[in-house]
Structure 1
């Protein structure tokens, strides 16, 4: 599938960067693109940053770099949607799903207590299921899952077959969760957006799939959450390198991925 060279095109946008180091995170995103499509990719990321509900950025960085290794193809996780009436119901369901995924209850309780202090971190927190401690040691950045994409034609076929919306939000979130859960060190992921207008979150696990929960926070809340519950006994540097550097395309069924 890799007759052409691919590039990782990434964007980060923030606000109040002069007043506070790093500022308020507004938006981020990435696509994997051929050279001929880089301009289109940059424009899409630019539009995403300039129209985000978290505000108008005063800083933006868009960059691209070539990918010099083979791109792995991974099937998307199975998706289920769980309708809940309240945030409390959503949190209760999320806890149950995490425990079913193999995360001990005491570790879940400890992680939930620490969620407020992690809400401003741009990336994911790695939480060891044995010690109940944060193990990524990456201060305010966390770990950013990168070099991941899902070509539109293949994604839209998947949405048609699975009765899912043709939403860029669904595409991006499911792609990230699929990559994260593809690594054996990942036990489960807990996530909801920092977008104040979007209250749906999910629990993801290789066996349970991508379990959408329709209310995991209140409308207007800009505090997000992304925690990877990890088997910390395994090789942590290799795991982080996989999340940040290993290029992956999500590919549904047997369609050829082309440009």
Structure 2
């Protein structure tokens, strides 16, 4: 689902919200209704354009991916949060230049992007040519909603932002060429952001000022990565994220 205000995105409409789910046929009606309610009651405003696309996905092409280890870092404010996120990215192998340029591009956004920027983890150069549309990650979900909810409760996590962030980040990190993801939300009331890599999904309690409706994602990718193959995986490869069972550790 994608929704906008002032007309369709392609006609200059302002992005309001988007969502991706991968569900069995029996849950299609309920999930579609949830997406409609989200489009019309988002904190960024009420949409006047909503597009919902439904596609059949053969089970045999779905790839299982293990949920990333998750931890939360409590920070005083968004300045401290961004400094901590930068340190995490540097420890993963993203260059200082790339971190600085990636963060700068997020900070300088004049409106929220629908997708992500692809940035070289060495040079900081943006490698996609999609502008404000970005590369949108699609076709992913958890393999068991009840198990995921139980696991999140045990971890002290709640809400749609944490759920969607973990699932999306897990798919992104599994993609060929991706070293790390940096993200903070465009929801004015949600200031938590994260850095994701093979080390895990690291949440920082403040990565932007409260009330800001500007947010986005940067995927730091290896130099000389095959951008076309990466985009194909992010946009088209169906992924179900396997979550730990009760009492199981990541």
Instruction: Judge same fold: TM > 0.5, yes or no.
Output: yes
Q: Does the CA-based 8 Å contact 1:119-1:225 persist in structure 2?
A: no
2:21 counterpart SS class: strand
Residue 238 of structure 1 and its aligned partner are, at CA, apart by: 0.9
Runs of 4+ in 1 over 4 A off after TM superposition: none
- Of residues 176, 196, 211, the one that matches 1:220 is 211
Residue 177 of structure 2 is matched in structure 1 by 185
- Give the whole-Å Cα distance in 2 for the aligned partners of 1:19 and 1:33: 26
> C-alpha deviations, 1:193-243, integer Å up to 9, x for none?
000001010111112x11100111111111102000011412211111110
Name the structure where strand makes up a greater proportion of residues.
1
Post-superposition shift, 1:114? Answer: 2.1
> In the alignment, which of 118, 130, 142 is matched to residue 138 of structure 1?
130
Alignment check: 8 A CA contact 1:118 1:225 kept = no
1:196 aligns with 2:188: yes
Check conservation: 1:111, 1:127, Cα contact below 8 A: yes
Shift of 1:109: 1.4
For the residues of structure 2 that align with 1:64 and 1:174, how far apart are their CA atoms? 23
Which position in structure 2 is the counterpart of 1:93? 84
> Is 2:110 the counterpart of 1:122?
no
Deviation string 1:72-120 (CA, Å, 9 cap, x unpaired) is 1111111111111111111110110110111000111122222213743
Moved more, 17-26 or 126-135: 17-26
Runs of 5+ consecutive residues of structure 2 not aligned to the other structure: none
**Is residue 176 of structure 2 the alignment partner of residue 176 of structure 1?**
no
Alignment-derived partner of residue 150 in structure 2: 157
The reply to whether residue 61 of structure 1 matches residue 51 of structure 2 is yes
**Contact 1:154–1:251 (Cα < 8 Å) also in 2:** no
- Which secondary structure does the structure 1 equivalent of 2:225 belong to? coil
TM-score normalised by length of structure 1: 0.88
SS state of the match for residue 91, structure 1?
helix
Match of 1:36 in 2: 26
Query: Compared with structure 1, are the counterparts of its residues 163 and 113 closer, same or farther at alpha carbon in structure 2 (3 Å cutoff)?
Result: closer
Residues 1:24 and 2:14 are matched in the alignment: yes
Preserved CA contact (<8 Å) 1:14 1:22: no
In structure 2, what is the Cα distance between the partners aligned to 1:141 and 1:56?
20
Structure 2 residue matching 1:156: 3-state secondary structure: helix
Q: Equivalent of 2:36, from 43, 46, 52?
A: 46
Counterpart CA distance in 1 for 2:79 and 2:39 is: 31
Aligned length: 243
Task: Give the alignment's Cα RMSD to 1 decimal.
Answer: 1.9
Deviation at 1:20, TM superposition (A): 8.6
1:134 Cα deviation from its structure 2 partner: 0.9
